[in-house]
Structure 1
């Protein structure tokens, strides 16, 4: 019960902090995600044993330049690199291939493609049509939280078939389907109150978040299994590290950004 209380307490603080930063101002949102980014870099650096401090400097510069020039063609190039890198990580996951990073150069490259660029697109997500729209980000967070929560609840109560036992033994096919179904229901409800996108677009965003987010969770679990650790950190009692809380959202962010900025 004590562990459950810690989990609920730290979860409430995390959600309250996230929503407050989004609603207060665009500056507070950027600062919070920037802070989360530095913590995630620290956690992932320990996970892959990256000793170079260059990743912190690179993240600060990349985030500053992408916010300064959001219409730059360079962002499109970075988005393509990030999407392709994520697809390759998914390929390695599904084919059960080992993720290798033999030296500091490879580790830094992995850090940039997997974490830093994705974190930058997470910062850019609420900036739609050159304006800060906090409610888009809130709706995206609601979809990811609904998916994660109901995937856990359905999987725990009805799960029988393992989804990817070699990486995450607790995840089940039933949990994945349950999370996706409730995310679609949440997208329908969101479309009734948020007219930034049509019902079809919200449903597609829900599918992207559910499918890519689940794969992102599994990719991070693969990294943790390789490092022989349970959590990326212990900053959130009962939950683990910040990367553990952001892994699904972080991995899905570039795909959602691609859809709402280049496809809709």
Structure 2
């Protein structure tokens, strides 16, 4: 009787896990397909999609930090239009970049050395503007980082591929070989082995991206040689992981498992975009340096 019960439980969990994997895979494929389709359609479609993603992500973040604010949505819309779609002043973008970098580094400091990320009213608006909103602004600025303002969707797609490769390899290597915890009090499942695996996955993706651009987009390959993609892979692996840890701390403080339920098997959009939101200002800053040096 006991053996039969154990067999039943084992079969039940196997079936449950298979269903969960199937749901996660289907929702993930749909999410990636929509993003890539919008990116390669036109800049207007790209901006429209990411504005919608930003609204949903911002809504999830506001719930996490217990802030009800219509001002945050106004700031999002104004930032998208005046700092990304129609840049009214380049110096304003640079100022946003500097302030975002400082705020993101302070968030890292809070993750490493404080028991709680400060969430007083004024600091809530600071994180809203210079962490969430600015993350999306720089994401939408990356594809137009060239002298003639030409929309280059392949560049932002490549950045997403680096992020997805880092996340996928970190999960695969971490779940198989992970023994040493990366930051257990924040994210018990993350391991040093997983981080190294994610970094190697991003480096491999960077090499593949360069080879693809070399064959199908020689001008972009000339503008961004192999070393650029290697450095960018390292930036994405490091800051993407930090972004994931910061979001984990916000969720831990809020006492929730996921930031939302919009994506079956994945949680909310903030759960899916936390890495690239945090990493995007640093990616933008690096590409800005590369453009000026070249």
Which band: TM-score by shorter chain? over 0.9
Instruction: Rate the CA distance shift 1:70–1:250 in 2: closer, same or farther, 3 A.
Output: farther
Query: Deviations 1:202-239 (Å, cap 9, x if unpaired)?
Result: 10000000000000000000000000101000000000
Q: In structure 2, how many angstroms separate the alpha carbons of the residues matched to 1:71 and 1:153?
A: 44
* Residues 1:4 and 2:31 aligned together: no
* Residues 1:76 and 2:103 aligned together: no
Unaligned runs of 5+ in 2: 1-17, 214-220
In the alignment, is the contact (CA less than 8 A) between 2:166 and 2:202 conserved in 1?
yes
Q: In structure 2, how many angstroms separate the alpha carbons of the residues matched to 1:148 and 1:8?
A: 14
Structure possessing the higher radius of gyration over alpha carbons: 2
Q: How does the TM-score come out when normalised to structure 1?
A: 0.97
Quick one: which of 13, 18, 24 aligns to 2:41?
Answer: 24
Q: CA deviation at 1:185?
A: 1.4
Q: CA deviation at 1:71?
A: 5.5
1:210-229 map, 5 Å: 210-229=237-256
* Residues 1:60 and 2:87 aligned together: no
Unaligned runs of 5+ in 1: none
Runs of 4+ in structure 1 deviating by more than 4 angstroms, as ranges, are: none
1:189-204 map, 5 Å: 189-194=208-213, 195=221, 196-204=223-231
Query: Deviations 1:180-221 (Å, cap 9, x if unpaired)?
Result: 012111111211222040111110000000000000000000
Q: CA deviation at 1:131?
A: 1.6
Alpha carbon RMSD of aligned pairs, Å?
A: 1.2
* Residues 1:95 and 2:122 aligned together: no
Alignment partner of 1:24: what SS?
Answer: coil
Show the counterpart of 1:166.
Answer: 185
Q: CA deviation at 1:96?
A: 3.5
In the alignment, is the contact (CA less than 8 A) between 2:172 and 2:194 conserved in 1?
yes
Q: In structure 1, how many angstroms separate the alpha carbons of the residues matched to 2:145 and 2:200?
A: 27
Quick one: which of 153, 159, 173 aligns to 1:134?
Answer: 153
Show the counterpart of 1:151.
Answer: 170
Show the counterpart of 2:13.
Answer: none
In the alignment, is the contact (CA less than 8 A) between 2:97 and 2:281 conserved in 1?
yes
Q: In structure 2, how many angstroms separate the alpha carbons of the residues matched to 1:69 and 1:116?
A: 15
Show the counterpart of 1:235.
Answer: 262
In the alignment, is the contact (CA less than 8 A) between 2:131 and 2:277 conserved in 1?
no
Instruction: Rate the CA distance shift 1:122–1:155 in 2: closer, same or farther, 3 A.
Output: same
